[in-house]
Amino acid sequence: MENLLALLTKLAPLAATFVPQAGQATDILDAVAALIRHINAQNGMTTDEIIASAADTLDKNEQKLLADQIRLHGGTP
Amino acid sequence: MRLHLKSKPIITGLALVLLFSSLSFKCSGGPPNDPNSKFRTAAKASDDIAQGISQMIDLKRKLAQQGKISAAEESVITDLLLKVNTADKLFVARIKTMTTAPDANGKSALATLFAEVTSALAELNSKGFLPLGNGGAKSQLAKLLALATTAAQVIGTFLKP
């Protein structure tokens, strides 16, 4: 699975050069590959570590979204 | 059977959901000395949703930079993503406070909190993604949302009485 993902993520940018609209596939493939890597990484973790990882990701998400709100609303989140 | 061009994104999306679901179940086992393994399914799925939100944030930023979604569309999606994120945060915070396997009341409390997460995910789809003018942007964001929703269904099964 890891090898297949590595191959697909390497081939996708190449396809983007030759195939119209293949760039979209690259974006989505990167995102899906990141999700699958994340799920695989959970394998060796305890439940407490997974909960801590979720809390950490959610905190980072909140920071990013608040920054986006400030950018989009011009200073008022 | 011939595949029409329009059906290809749907098939790709379904294939991704299937892949994601199978991986979620495959990776359910943890270390043998895991003290809180009874929460593992819920913890994993809420972590998967958190990661899905993170990927959606990155993708919507990229789509906005490429001019594929407008500032107004990005603003709506940002607000709705924050709503999903806040709901998932409350759910994770509740799991953190639990020290024993949830009884019927505990599961009911978790189910109530989790209903907020699924409701926010549905709202993100109906008010954030479906109205998008650019079909490509809509399709990409919807695929990531489908993955997060699959994770949500895993939690739903865990919370059944």
DSSP secondary structure letter of residue B161: -
* Residue B31 contacts A, CB cutoff 8 Å: yes
Do A68 and B74 count as a contact with CB atoms less than 8 A apart?
yes
B16, B34, B79 member nearest A46 (Cβ): B34
In a domain, B153, yes or no: yes
pLDDT digits (tens, 9 = 90+) for B73-123: 999 999 999 999 999 999 999 888 887 777 778 788 888 888 898 899 999
pTM of the complete model beyond 0.90: no
* CATH of residue B68: 1.20.120.230
User: Token match 């759910």: residue?
Assistant: B91
Number of structural domains (chain B) is: 1
B42 contacts B158 by C-beta, under 8 angstroms: yes
Do A46 and B35 count as a contact with CB atoms less than 8 A apart?
yes
Range of the domain at B53: 42-159
In a domain, B83, yes or no: yes
In a domain, B110, yes or no: yes
pLDDT digits (tens, 9 = 90+) for A45-77: 888 899 999 999 999 999 999 999 999 987 555
CA distance linking residue B27 with residue B14, whole number of Å: 20
In a domain, B12, yes or no: no
CA distance linking residue B21 with residue B30, whole number of Å: 17
- Residue to mutate among B25, B34, B47, with most A CBs inside 10 A, is B47
In a domain, B3, yes or no: no
In a domain, B10, yes or no: no
What are the two backbone dihedrals, phi and then psi, of residue A24, each rounded to the nearest 5 degrees? -60, -40
ipTM of the complex: 0.76
CA distance linking residue B112 with residue A29, whole number of Å: 34
In a domain, B95, yes or no: yes
Residues of A in contact with B57 (CB under 8 A): 61, 64-65, 68
* Residue B96 contacts A, CB cutoff 8 Å: yes
In a domain, B19, yes or no: no
CA distance linking residue A48 with residue B36, whole number of Å: 7
* Residue B37 contacts A, CB cutoff 8 Å: yes
